[in-house]
Amino acid sequence: MADRGTVATGSHSDDVAALVAQYARLPAGAPVRLAKPTSNLFRFRAPSAGPGLDVGRFDRVLEVDTANRTAQVQGMATYEQIVDALLPSGHIPLVVPQLKTITLGGAVAGLGIESTSFRSGLPHESVRELEILTGSGEVVRARPDNEHAELFRGFPNSYGTLGYSLRLEIELERVHPYVRLEHVRFGTARECADAIAQICRDRSYDGRPVDFLDGTVFSARDQYLTIGSYVDEAPFTSDYTGQQIYYRSIPQRRTDYLTTHDYLWRWDTDWFWCSRAFGAQHPVVRRFWPQRYRRSDVYRRIVAWDRRHAVTDRLAVLRGRGVNEPVIQDVEIPVDRLPEFLEFFHRDIGISPVWLCPVQLRDAKGWPLYPMDPDELYVNVGFWSTVPLRRGEAPGRHNRAIERVVTELDGHKSLYSNSYFTEEEFWRLYNQPAYQRLKERYDPQRRLPGLYEKCVREK
């Protein structure tokens, strides 16, 4: 690929003009929603009435500038599409979230994370420019140094309540062909947290540079950090898209090698470990489950169907069991307080495995709607399962307990799934004054939902 070249054809400006015209035709006062084929949110709600805003055409990588390591990408392009376009030239975005159908616009408006986040922060921190269709129907270019700088800073964690990203200019990094993995076991959460802090500080482990870092907690006495380093050659490569399952290899192999492509999608084939709920990890079932359907978006569609029809809950009642509460969350905990959180989690929630992903912001100014401390190293703790409810317990009990503990530990909770905050709590945590200023400027007619209404109230 040349230093500067187009990867997709077609006129982006024509796409924008058509979308603005479509937005203008939507009835005043009618709820505005995006018409898109995939979602990685876990707020399952009844479909909105009326037509959606068709953003399906905004799914291309428009241009790649390998000399300056930047790319122009439309907001609905999935990371699978982006990686496919960039990897042949030896480049990827600085942070590639772990699921293939997460879109670039979704990762910026709703946050994203992966094992480069200890050195590259969150996906929105490598965005140089945002082209946004605002709630007022205007298209603006927001940069950190122009008249829309406040929108640029406030767009992350706004979840489409201020507008929709149409095009983003993002930074890229050079990659090597392979990733060497080392799985290191720790017997206590304190030992694990201390190792995370040291590795993130030194950017090395056992004399090797560290390019990727995440972890898997199997129990209170069994946690692993997976330390990844780029390499140009590999003595072998593993394949976890077939019968073998990636997370099960972690306690079994001290050292492993993957192609960079397979490393980026190591979690997608089995949706971390969640495919076990559908039987997809059983050797016989797996043999007959087509490989092209072993991917996160397929599993999510199954969950969405089940939630819509309450099949699992109805079967549980018929069998005389209580219903289960979905506990699907990602939370950021200061690294020093990670052992406290895991102690609570093992005792009161009991889900395993649990994912760990260190993150530290790149930008010292921070991001007002998700006010992490730029000087603090956090660990994202991800858990995605169900927890039984005892007779008489209301749904939300376990999620609410997690929210309380996260707040007590000076942590933060991502809003892609159901939340149970009171309105007062929510706005204290997510910066109501900054959000209201942006809402009044960019969506004065309130054509788009409010952040609290969208992320909490609409269940």
For the cut 80, the answer to whether the pLDDT of residue 450 exceeds it is: yes
For the question of whether the overall pTM of this predicted structure is more than 0.85, the answer is yes
CA pair distance 271, 293, nearest whole angstrom:
12
Over residues 352-372, mean pLDDT: 96
For the cut 70, the answer to whether the pLDDT of residue 263 exceeds it is: yes
CA pair distance 171, 116, nearest whole angstrom:
14
Strands 53-54, 34-35: pairing is parallel
For 117-166, what is each residue's pLDDT tens digit?
999 999 999 999 999 999 999 999 999 999 999 999 999 999 999 999 99
Q: How confident is the model at residue 6 (pLDDT cuts 50, 70, 90)?
A: low
Contacts of 153 (CB under 8 A, 6+ apart): 144, 365, 367, 368
For 265-309, what is each residue's pLDDT tens digit?
999 999 999 999 999 999 999 999 999 999 999 988 888 887 776
Three-class SS of residue 101? coil
Q: Which residue has the tokens 């304190």?
A: 190
pLDDT of residue 28: 79
For the cut 80, the answer to whether the pLDDT of residue 101 exceeds it is: yes
- For the chain, the domains span 4-175+446-457, 178-266
pLDDT of residue 9: 47
CA pair distance 338, 190, nearest whole angstrom:
8
pLDDT of residue 31: 76
Over residues 173-182, mean pLDDT: 98
pLDDT of residue 245: 97
For the cut 70, the answer to whether the pLDDT of residue 429 exceeds it is: yes
Over residues 67-91, mean pLDDT: 97
Cβ atoms of 143 and 149 closer than 8 Å: yes
Q: How confident is the model at residue 2 (pLDDT cuts 50, 70, 90)?
A: very low
Size of the chain in residues: 459
pLDDT of residue 163: 96
Instruction: Output the CA torsion 356→378→92→12 (10° steps).
Output: 120
Per-residue tokens: 110: 């709703």
Strand partners, 64: 5, 71
H or E, element range at 100: none
- Domain 4-175+446-457 annotated CATH 3.30.465.10: yes
For the cut 60, the answer to whether the pLDDT of residue 397 exceeds it is: yes
Q: With 0-12 CB in 10 A as exposed, 13-18 as middle and 19+ as buried, what is 67? A: exposed
Residue 222, CA distances (Å) to 191, 215, 225, 387 in order:
11, 11, 10, 21
Phi, psi angles (nearest 5°) of residue 402: -65, -45
Helix H segments across 26-116?
A: 79-86, 104-110
Q: Amino acid letter at 317?
A: V
Cβ atoms of 238 and 379 closer than 8 Å: no
Per-residue tokens: 279: 């039987």
Strand partners, 91: 174
Contacts of 251 (CB under 8 A, 6+ apart): 183, 185, 218, 222, 224
Q: How confident is the model at residue 19 (pLDDT cuts 50, 70, 90)?
A: very high
pLDDT of residue 321: 67
CA pair distance 425, 411, nearest whole angstrom:
14
Q: How confident is the model at residue 29 (pLDDT cuts 50, 70, 90)?
A: confident
Residue 196, CA distances (Å) to 2, 4, 192, 222, 251 in order:
39, 38, 6, 15, 18
pLDDT of residue 316: 62
Phi, psi angles (nearest 5°) of residue 443: -145, 60
Q: How confident is the model at residue 53 (pLDDT cuts 50, 70, 90)?
A: confident
pLDDT of residue 46: 55
SS3 content of the chain, % helix, strand, coil (to 5): 35, 25, 40
CA pair distance 175, 86, nearest whole angstrom:
10
Q: How confident is the model at residue 51 (pLDDT cuts 50, 70, 90)?
A: low
For the cut 70, the answer to whether the pLDDT of residue 180 exceeds it is: yes
- Percent residues over pLDDT 90 in the chain: 81
Burial call 237-260: b when 16+ CB within 10 Å, e when fewer:
ebebbeeebbbebbeeeeebbbbb
Of the two residues 312 and 273, the one the predictor is more confident about is 273
3-state secondary structure 326-352: EEEEEEEEEHHHHHHHHHHHHHHCCCC
Cβ atoms of 114 and 260 closer than 8 Å: no
pLDDT of residue 38: 64
